[in-house]
Structure 1
């Protein structure tokens, strides 16, 4: 199982939010490039970088910073936030991102997922499935749709999507542990490769997610637990590598 250390960008700084609420912002660094380099030096196999400003407003205010991060590390970068069009996706992939996560637009823009898959390939595209009480949230999690997460994931699989970043919003940034039941069910029923996000607080959480690998949980995004020193990246990597 892959570990994706998270770098969430707001106003050019590295921050974490609680359940996606803008008012809960906690700043961890004014130098996201240094954070990225530290994760890479510690052995991270990937980075997960999110433009929160673009997710909330649609404006790519942190695109330049994301390009700097990509240029500063020699590991693949997965990025998302405000990916609303083929042009948005192309800009990030052309800048060196390995994979782009499409959230709101996967639900609201008919045909975008199919066009992106056809143009860039299935390894370069992930569907962001963020749920609140089982329903898909959109627009930086400020709105909740009537679409249930699992049927939406199944629809994405039917279109040719291979990867999804799945977040239970109630757990995100809360250090309450991941929603293992929901994560396993979505992976099993959708047949997607699931990158779990939200709630990881302990090494035991990582072990529990690692044990879901056979269900289709292929990776985990870890953010606040690393920034708050709950465990180190080295400890996380050893845990997911253990038999």
Structure 2
């Protein structure tokens, strides 16, 4: 069964969601991300996707105390993104309790550094974040555009041992209208030895089941849970039936 990874986006220490990456279109759902994470763990989920939106804008992690609380309260496999622009920031994220760190902007702006991180920290701990808008990779919390396509970005680092990519379709994010099935299918076929994680657009359990049937290995789900489109009971049943 495809691995379901619930998302917790953080601004000011609280659990929020943005629509299409727009900081002006923010909804706050819960005050304590650690409480939300514990709830996910209680139904059998194994991994959590934490995004430091303050850090993404500030170019340095800004909510590490939240990460420490989640790590102390749960036994979840934590993947963390937002503001990781230096080896020191990456190290701080891992030392604060994350098992995996998502690096996106630096892979575009300083590919040599990202390649060094893959070698130094190991590909099991470093995830390439490829956030796509209109076919091009966006950086700095989706606030800047690059000229790179997602395949070009992945091709840069596949020879360096890259084995994890989270690809977010910004145009679908928070819209609850289904992910870009065609794009993810093409990516997983092209990069069969790399785990392509789907992110953006999940609106129902049927979307997840379709991705599973397509052979995708992991999917991030956020707003669909908070808005009740997918219930925790449904997720628990899905996990139990595998």
TM score, norm. by length of structure 2: 0.94
Q: Is the 8 A contact 1:168 1:179 kept in 2?
A: yes
Map of 1:174 onto structure 2: 175
Map of 1:224 onto structure 2: 223
Is structure 2 residue 93 aligned with structure 1 residue 88? no
Q: Is the 8 A contact 1:10 1:51 kept in 2?
A: yes
Q: Is the 8 A contact 2:48 2:78 kept in 1?
A: yes
Q: Is the 8 A contact 2:188 2:195 kept in 1?
A: yes
Deviations 1:44-82 (A, max 9, x none): 110000000111221322111111111111111011111
1:43-192 map, 5 Å: 43-191=44-192, 192=194
- Paired with 1:106 and 1:240, the residues of 2 have a C-alpha distance of 34
TM score, norm. by length of structure 1: 0.94
RMSD: 1.5
- Paired with 1:13 and 1:76, the residues of 2 have a C-alpha distance of 20
Is structure 2 residue 199 aligned with structure 1 residue 200? no
Gaps of 5+ in 1: none
Provide runs of 4+ in structure 1 moved above 2 Å. 236-243
- Paired with 1:203 and 1:149, the residues of 2 have a C-alpha distance of 26
Q: Secondary structure at the match of 2:217?
A: strand
- Paired with 1:34 and 1:241, the residues of 2 have a C-alpha distance of 22
The aligned length equals 240
Map of 1:25 onto structure 2: 26
Deviation at 1:167, TM superposition (A): 0.5
Larger mean CA deviation between 43-52 and 154-163 belongs to 154-163
